Structure 1
Amino acid sequence: MKPTIHSVAQEAGVSISTVSKVIHNTGSISEQTRKKVFQAMNKLNYHPDVAAASLRGKKTKVIGLLVPDISNPFYAEVARSIEDRSRELGFNVMMCNTDNDAEKEKEYLSLLTSQRIDGIVVASAFRSTDLLEGLLEKGIPIALIASEIPKLSIDTVTVDDYQGGYLATSYLLSLGHKRIAIIVENVRSNIPRLEAFRDAMEEAELPILDGYIIKTEAMIQKGYEGARQLLSLQERPTAIFACNDLLAAGVIQAAKEMGFNIPEDVSVVGFDNTVLSTTTSPMLTTVAQPVKEMGAKVIDLLTKEMQTSKPYKERLLLSPELMVRQSTAALP
């Protein structure tokens, strides 16, 4: 049976009026009670009908934004570009940081729908795709940025990750490097970057040596640990392609601590072209994503969907650009 507000109240151990207050964000409700209600809504897969009704009728002029990690400069810049374009069009943005956690994704989706937002932008790999599918069926407009969910028919704006990975690897090959390693994040967008790395190395008829592919999380510390592992190999790489700037910053830090000079001893390439790329020493050669354009386009697609549901969704694939700085050099 379809869950009701009554079943949510029973599950949470509160009154129906308390659930109603949480849904409509009215009254004085403790954070503990609010969390219990959201957890019950998630468990029962309950989404207030009032949210869908508001999307068909009165508009709130609020867009929800889900990001995986706002401490990552890339997602901070994505959020800023989305907010800038939203404000130009008269919308406010409610941002939620999921920490790549499936439970948080569920809680925030319940929060956003209960707040009667006009649409949602998802800027993460997103684990709870079944929940997104349920919201789409209810008529809630959703768009993706910097990620893809192939099984959903949904407006998407992303960069050509394969082209970006190929640009980075080809550039290192052009500098004469043959022993090239890669540190890749365990997310969907990094799969084509790794594929491009493999293809470029194969086209150059060069092997990828054992231990030269490291899969990890997007953290400076993980880039640091990966670089120490790579640079401790008996046959160490002369170049490292880190698949985002956070990882690349960790690579630079580790290389320096181990007594290697950059780029004389090891060249480093990142991906994203965040503020980190110009604050590292030396400044980082990286693959730039057109973040400002991506943010503007995803909001344009979402607002178009708000006005009239399109039978065919759009997938915009933007081109990356290699930004050459001081962290790379020709192999001596």
Structure 2
Amino acid sequence: MKPTIYDVAEKAGVSIATVSKVINNTGRISDKTRKKVNLIMNELNYHPSFVASALTGKRTQTIGLLIPNIANPFYSEFARNLEDRAHELGYSIVICSTDYNEEKEKKYVSLLMRKQVDGFIITSGFTNVGLIQEVMDQKIPVALIAYSIPTLSLNSIGIDDYKAGYQATAHLAELGHKRIAVIAETVQSSNDRVRGYKDALKEYQLEFDINLYIETKATVEDGEIATDKLLNVEEPPTAIFAFNDILAIGTMQCAKKRGLSIPENLSVIGCDNTILALIPSLTTMGQPLREMGYEAADILIEEIEGKKTRKHQILLSPELVIRDSTGPLKI
């Protein structure tokens, strides 16, 4: 049985009115009492009745954004575009960075629900599908970014990851590279990019070599470590496709430390086309981050305001942005 406001009041030793004031952040309540009530709500996993709030038309004009790492320019640039559009529509964004940590996911979802956000935007890297179901059970609108859950009926926005994987690999193959390695990020979008990568290899009559495939976390250091492993195989790659710009920068740093010239000795391509791709000049698969942010705000706020009931699965097209980090294979 789900806990009620009465359970919280009884365990905290306060009145129901006091609990209500804490939830709505109204009235004069001591910090000690407020902390105690919040602690009890956490312990009981109690969430206010958002259904009742929705029926009375009460909104907070806020949206919770859950991202795995604000330091990754993909997420920070997306958040900025989302915030710009939400502001135009009269909403504010509350950003929480989960660090791919399930405990942090639980903590922030609970926090945002207590803050009575009107909706959630959840990006790739979120691990707890059960939590998303709990949010939906409270009739709170949810939109997913670069992430999909086939078992749930949700709004989702992302790029055609298969196309991104295929085009990046085809670009390298057309430059004459036959040993093309992949450094994949441990997120759902990598699955379709890998399919595109493998199909492009087949198209150009190249064999998939498991020794040229590494899956890792999205940090510059992990990109360096993965590249070092790839360059140590018996027949090393002449080109590397990193599944985001952060990993690609790690690849380029590793090459530099080894005295390799890019693209003369090693071609490198990333994915996202964030600010990281500008210096050094990185070839990358561009994601339309402005369009993704605006679409996310539009479809979620339309659902919050009851203007639509049908779910949207929006798939945007990536763009190959050729810069200086890829070039013809040198024999």
Query: What's the TM-score, normalizing by structure 1?
Result: 0.91
Q: Secondary structure at the match of 2:166?
A: helix
**Aligned amino acid, residue 323 of structure 2:** R
Residue 307 of structure 1: aligned partner: 305
Q: Say whether residues 1:139 and 2:139 are aligned partners.
A: yes
* Amino acid paired to 2:327: A
Judged with a 3 Å threshold, the aligned counterparts in structure 2 of structure 1 residues 230 and 138 are, in CA distance, closer, same or farther, namely same
Alignment of 1:167-316 (within 5 A): 167-280=167-280, 283-308=281-306, 310-316=308-314
**What's the offset of the Cα at 1:310?**
4.0
> How many angstroms apart in 1 are the aligned matches of 2:37 and 2:149?
30
Q: 1:306 to 1:323 in 2, by over 3 A?
A: same
Match of 1:55 in 2: 54
Instruction: Give the conservation status (yes or no) of the 8 Å contact 1:120–1:142.
Output: yes
Residues 41 and 110 of structure 1 are in contact (CA less than 8 Å); yes or no, is this contact kept in structure 2?
no
Paired residue for 1:149?
Answer: 149
Distance in 2, matches of 1:34 and 1:201, equals 59
Distance in 1, matches of 2:286 and 2:108, equals 30
Task: Pick closer, same or farther for the CA change 1:93–1:331 going to 2, 3 Å.
Answer: same
TM-score by length of 2: 0.91
Q: Distance in 1 between matches of 2:232 and 2:6?
A: 61
State how 1:122-133 maps to structure 2 within 5 Å.
122-133=122-133
Q: Deviations over 1:24-52 (max 9, x none)?
A: 3464547986874464244xxx3211x33
Poorly superposed stretches of 4+, deviation over 6 Å: none
Q: Which amino acid aligns with 1:95?
A: I
Letter in 2 for 1:58: K
Of stretches 98-107 and 254-263 in structure 1, the one that deviates more from structure 2 is: 98-107
TM-superposed CA distance for 1:126, in Å, is: 1.9
User: Structure 1: which 5+ runs fail to align?
Assistant: none
Q: Which residue of 2 aligns with 1:322?
A: 320
Query: Closer, same or farther in 2 for the Cα pair 1:33/1:204, shift >3 Å?
Result: farther
User: Quick one: structure 1 residues 24 and 163, their matched pair in 2 at CA, closer, same or farther if it must change by over 3 Å?
Assistant: same
For 2:158, what is the secondary structure of its paired residue? Answer: strand
2:105 aligned with 1:105: yes
Render the CA deviation track for 1:83-128: whole Å, top value 9, x for unaligned.
Answer: 0000111111111111111121111111111112121111233222
Distance 1:177 1:312, change over 3 A: same
Gaps of at least 5 residues in structure 2 are none
Instruction: Please tell me whether the aligned partners of residues 289 and 320 of structure 1 are also in contact (alpha carbons under 8 angstroms).
Output: yes
Question: 1:151-196: CA deviations, max 9, x gaps?
Answer: 1101111111110111100000000000000000111011101111
CA distance in structure 2 between the partners assigned to 1:34 and 1:194 by the alignment:
48
Give the share of equivalent positions with the same residue, in percent: 46
CA distance in 1, matches of 2:109, 2:90: 22
